[in-house]
Amino acid sequence: MKKIITQVGEKLRANEYKLTPQRQIILEVMLENKDKHLSAEDVYILVKRKAPDIGLATVYRTLELFLEHEIVHSVNFGDGRKRYEYGDSTEGHHHHHAICLRCGKILEINEDLLEELEKQVSKDYGFTVLDHELKIFGHCSECK
């Protein structure tokens, strides 16, 4: 994990940004909560435990910064808040989400069977595909 923090620091510095203690702590929290789809507020609460003086605005600003630098990516489950997850969505190891409409549980789907569809779309619409996001709605094994 130390290594990742150093890498991120370099990535930011290469773009004239600084790796402040606050940013480092937010990064740690994101790393400790992979696959958790944290909202800005969630991150704020977790970060507060390590650094009580941090401000909510800093969390928002940092997450947006990380988003631009593809350190995190975001998903929107339609519940009125943006959620963030560690990892670059353009690196190809993006997963999809299956959302249970009864219990609200979110499963990670790690298969990527969309290549065919992407090819089709670039052919038919002249669209260069950079990323995709798939949400599947239904009932999980426990709820049906």
Partner DNA sequence: CTAGCTGCAAAAGATTTGCACCTCG
Partner DNA sequence: CGAGGTGCAAATCTTTTGCAGCTAG
Q: Per rule CB under 7 A, is residue 98 in the interface with DNA?
A: no
118 is in an annotated binding site: no
CA-based nearest residue to 37, from 97, 118, 117: 97
| Touching a second copy, residues 41-80 (CB under 8 A) | 74, 76, 78, 80
Query: Does the protein bind DNA through residue 9 (CB under 7 A)?
Result: yes
Tell me the DSSP string of 32-74.
Answer: HTTTS-EEHHHHHHHHHHH-TT--HHHHHHHHHHHHHTTSEEE
33 binds, among DNA, a second copy, none (CB under 5 to 8 A by kind): none
Confirm whether residue 97 is marked as ligand binding.
no
What is the x/- site pattern for a second copy, positions 125-144, by CB under 8 A? xxxxxxxxxxxxxxxxx--x
Name the nearest CA neighbour of 72 among 52, 86, 89, 90: 86
Q: Using an 8 Å Cβ cutoff, are 39 and 82 in contact?
A: yes
By CB under 7 A, tell whether 33 contacts DNA. no
Binding of residue 22 to DNA (CB under 7 A): yes
Q: Which residues contact 48 (CB under 8 A, 6 or more apart)?
A: 54
Residues in contact with DNA by CB under 7 A are 9, 12-13, 16-23, 39-41, 51, 53-58, 60-62, 64-65, 80-82
